């Protein structure tokens, strides 16, 4: 796999519930994390005293975060609406040379910041809220 540009990792939001995704405006940095809880089934009979985990068990989740320059675009307005209305719409994450992750996410945090002589910035945090799909590129 060739080296990829960070700007190609995109977080997209469903603007109106019709699965028409648009890249969230102003993001400079974005990140997606996948997590899986383990279920320990170790017993006295476990070979050599090694821990054993139950395959396919436990809760799986994903989290998305991003930060960037506040632009007050349609996607910014939609993110605010989602947060204040408590919606759980679909999002897409495009991971270059890897694939597309899509599914419901809840916006768990929006932070706005600015300094006297700088641009207004924001940070966005999302948590998976249902089953996700993965499509390889």
Q: What is the pTM of this model?
A: 0.86
pLDDT tens figures, 11-29 = 999 988 898 999 998 899 9
User: Which CA distances in Å does 130 have to 18, 31, 58, 79?
Assistant: 18, 19, 14, 18
- Give the whole-angstrom CA distance, residue 88 versus residue 90: 7
pLDDT for the residue 72? 80
- Give the whole-angstrom CA distance, residue 29 versus residue 87: 24
> CATH assignment of 6-136?
2.30.110
Nearest-5° Cα angle at 40, 35 to 42:
150
- Give the whole-angstrom CA distance, residue 125 versus residue 30: 10
The separation between CA 124 and the C-alpha centre of its own chain, rounded to angstroms, equals 9
Q: Name the more confident of 110 and 2.
A: 110
Residue found by looking up tokens 């060739």 in the block = 2
Residue 52's CB: how many other CB atoms inside 10 A? 13
């Amino acid at each position: 796999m060739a080296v990829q540009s960070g700007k190609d990792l995109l977080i997209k939001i469903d603007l109106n519930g019709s699965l028409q995704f648009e890249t969230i405006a102003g993001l400079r940095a974005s990140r997606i994390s996948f997590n899986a809880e383990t279920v320990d089934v170790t017993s006295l009979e476990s070979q050599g005293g090694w821990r054993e985990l139950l395959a396919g068990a436990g809760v799986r989740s994903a989290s998305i975060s991003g930060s960037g320059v506040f632009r007050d675009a349609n996607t910014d307005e939609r993110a605010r609406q989602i947060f204040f209305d408590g919606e759980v719409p679909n999002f897409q994450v495009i991971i270059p040379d890897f694939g597309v992750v899509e599914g419901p996410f809840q916006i768990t945090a929006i932070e706005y910041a600015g300094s006297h002589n700088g641009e207004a910035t924001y940070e966005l945090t999302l948590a998976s809220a249902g089953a996700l799909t993965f499509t390889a590129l």
